[in-house]
Amino acid sequence: MADDRPASVFFFAPFVSSTMAIEPGWIDYNGHLNMAYYHVLFDRAVDEAFGVVGLGPDYMETGRGTTFAAEVHVRYRRELVLDDRVRVTLQLIGFDEKRIHFYSEIRHATEGWVAASSENLSLHVDPMTRRVAPFPEDIQANLSVMLGSHARLPRPDDLGRVIGIPDRSHPRPEAIAFAAAGARVRH
């Protein structure tokens, strides 16, 4: 007698992609990986991670749904060159019935240093209507298991960063207190 229960999923915390190589055409005139290809590496890893959850290419092909990127914040930390091999980690930060919030890091495959980080918000989309739609229950269940596994991880330092140039005309409150105590403030 066949067991009709869905198989449970298991997630490493964080998810770690396969090892990826830097392709020669991705190197720019500065002799390092062009910024656009950091996104390619992140995207390939997202495809792997989402495939484990049930959101892979076959999910789209069957017409159940797909995901679209809604917002991405990338921080470039260290340059990559042609001979580097990388792996991408992915940590699920949260989700609701229509959105997934996750954080990824491109890491050197053998030395472990972080080359870039990426915070992302993706939307679940009905491929027929091209509109945001709720995840099916089985996908939400898989995301719950993944989130439970990833919830034990520390909150990434790069999460929630804001881009901007510090306003030097209005010192930060801690700088004012430091100056009032007689110390020299350096910006």
pLDDT (tens place) for every residue of the chain, 187 residues total: 444 545 556 678 999 999 999 999 999 999 999 999 999 999 999 999 999 999 988 898 998 999 999 999 999 999 999 999 999 999 999 999 999 999 999 999 999 999 999 999 999 999 999 999 999 999 999 999 999 999 999 999 999 998 889 888 876 666 555 555 555 444 4
What are the residues whose beta carbons fall under 8 Å from the beta carbon of 64, sequence distance 6 or more? 136
Q: Are 85 and 109 in contact (CB under 8 A)?
A: yes
Closest-CA residue to 7 (of 138, 140, 149, 146)? 138
Distance CA 187, CA 12 (A): 41
**3-state secondary structure string across 41-69:** HHHHHHHHHHHHHCCCHHHHHCCCCEEEE
Q: Around Cβ 51, how many Cβ atoms within 10 Å?
A: 13
Whole-model pTM? 0.83
First-last CA distance in the chain: 71
Q: Say which residues have a Cβ less than 8 Å from residue 7's Cβ, sequence separation at least 6.
A: none
